[in-house]
Structure formats: C-alpha cells, structure tokens
Chain A
Amino acid sequence: KAGVTQTPRYLIKTRGQQVTLSCSPISGHRSVSWYQQTPGQGLQFLFEYFSETQRNKGNFPGRFSGRQFSNSRSEMNVSTLELGDSALYLCASSPDLGQGLAQRYFGPGTRLTVT
C-alpha cells in the first residue's frame, strides 16, 4: 500500500499570503489529522477530519482551517501567514476502526517557510 502523500513538499511564502497544503491518506483510511512541527514547540495537533467533518480541533487560531473530501483526501489552509507559521506540516491518516482505531501514520510533511 502506498503511504500518506503530501504536496507540495516545500513551499516559500511571504507574510500576509495564504497557503493550501494537500494530503492523500493511505488507501482505505478514513480519518486524516494535521500536526505542526517546530523546533520550539515540537509536534502539535491542529485538527482531525472524518467523513468530511471536523471531529477535533487543537489550540490554533482561526487562520488555520481544513477540510476533507469524499475520497478522504484533505487540505489545510493557512491565511494571513505570519513568520511564526514556518514549520513542517504533517498529515497523518488512521484506519479509525478496530485495532487501528488510535494508530496514526504520518506523511513526509510539507516544509513551509514564511519570509
């Protein structure tokens, strides 16, 4: 099975711009979650989607949003970019059932640099 794929892998944006990141989960996985990874704060939960509905949200400002499509693919959007948004954005997919209920499989991430 192919793993979680994320596009683009690298992105450079300017303060004030907006950005959209894309994630395709492992085939058959029904939920997708997003995490931000920075050297200072580590890995922090952004939000999780299941069946096109946001099921959980972390403690991030409203500039961070996401959505999930009927094929389980997900996008996250960051509006009005700030320098502090520079980070590795990781998408994780989960089988979301049975023994795999809690398992999260991460993609390679999108490295966002805000200048």
Chain B
Amino acid sequence: QQQVKQSPQSLIVQKGGISIINCAYENTAFDYFPWYQQFPGKGPALLIAIRPDVSEKKEGRFTISFNKSAKQFSLHIMDSQPGDSATYFCAASKGQAGTALIFGKGTTLSVSS
C-alpha cells in the first residue's frame, strides 16, 4: 500500500515533442504528489507538485495531471528540449509534517535533437 509505481522506465522523445510519465499509487491517505528532476551527479530538484483538490497544475512547460478516482498522476513536458534529458521521479506523501516521501523508481528521459 506504500508503493508508487512509475512508468515507463525510459523514454526517448524528439525535440519539440511531448514527454509523458505516469505514476500510480495505492494509499488513499497520500495527499501530496511532487515530481523531481535529477541530473547525473546532482540531487533531485523539486519540479512541480500537486494536491488532490485540483486535477491539473501547470508551471511553464511542465504540467501535472491528477486522477483521484484512478489513483494516478502524470507529468507532461511540452516542447521537450535536450536540456530536459534527466531522470524524473514521482513521489507521494501524506503531506503532513514528518511524513516520508515514497518515490517511484524513476524514468530516464532522453530528448534527441
């Protein structure tokens, strides 16, 4: 019940295309869903996050779509650029102080020019 399942494991997208990464969770107590971006040799950087009271959140080229009934959420990267090539992690937590982030296994995105 604590798992967050992420797919696909790897993704190759052409420059200018849309990258889509999906995550599914089981624990209905989760109410905070962030996405992190990690470059080699760096720590994960918080990209965008959503709470279940909204179905979509957009920041620049990055959009989170959230489906509470299906217990799924996804990251869309519009107009993907070579600089977006990185590993992306979805995560979930109860959104309260002191609770752990439960991470998906990650998606390695390569944007070809």
Q: Which residues of A contact B (CB under 8 A)?
A: 4, 31, 33, 35, 42-45, 48, 50, 55-56, 58, 90, 92, 96, 101-109
Q: Which residues of B contact A33 (CB under 8 A)?
A: 100
B97: contacting residue among A42, A44, A45, A55, CB under 8 A: A55
Question: Would A102 and B93 be within 8 Å (CB), given that A90-B43, A107-B43 are in contact?
Answer: yes
Given known contacts A55-B98, A56-B98, A56-B99, is B46 in contact with A103 (CB within 8 Å)?
yes
Majority SS at the chain A contact face: strand
Interface contact A108-B42, CB-CB below 8 Å = yes
Partner of B44, one of A43, A50, A56, A96: A43
Alpha-carbon separation in the docked complex, A30 to B92 (Å): 21
* A-B interface, 8 closest residue pairs, ranked by CB to CB distance from nearest: A45-B100, A106-B43, A55-B98, A43-B103, A102-B32, A102-B95, A108-B43, A56-B98
Q: How large is the interface on B (under 10, 10 to 19, 20 to 34, 35 or more residues)?
A: 20 to 34
**Docked-complex contact B44 and A103, CB < 8 angstroms:** no
- Whole-angstrom distance between the alpha carbons of A42 and B103 in the complex? 8
CA A55 – CA B63 in complex, angstroms?
A: 32
Cα A42 to Cα B93 with chains together (Å) = 16
Q: Does B43 contact A45, Cβ atoms closer than 8 Å?
A: no
Q: Which of A90, A96, A103, A106 is packed against the most chain B CB atoms within 10 Å?
A: A106
Q: What are the residues of chain A within 8 A of B43 when measuring CB–CB?
A: 4, 90, 106-109
CB–CB B96/A103 < 8 A: no
Bound-state CA distance A44–B103 (Å) is 7
CA–CA, A90 and B36, complex, Å: 13
A35 to B45: give the CA distance in the assembly, Å: 14
- Is residue B89 contacting chain A, with contact meaning CB distance below 8 A? yes
Q: With A4-B43, A103-B34, A109-B43 in contact, do A56 and B49 touch (Cβ < 8 Å)?
A: no
Please name 10 further chain A to chain B contacts, defined as beta carbons within 8 Å, in addition to the given A56-B98, A102-B32, A102-B34, sorted by A numbering.
A33-B100, A43-B91, A45-B100, A101-B96, A102-B93, A102-B95, A103-B46, A104-B34, A104-B101, A106-B46
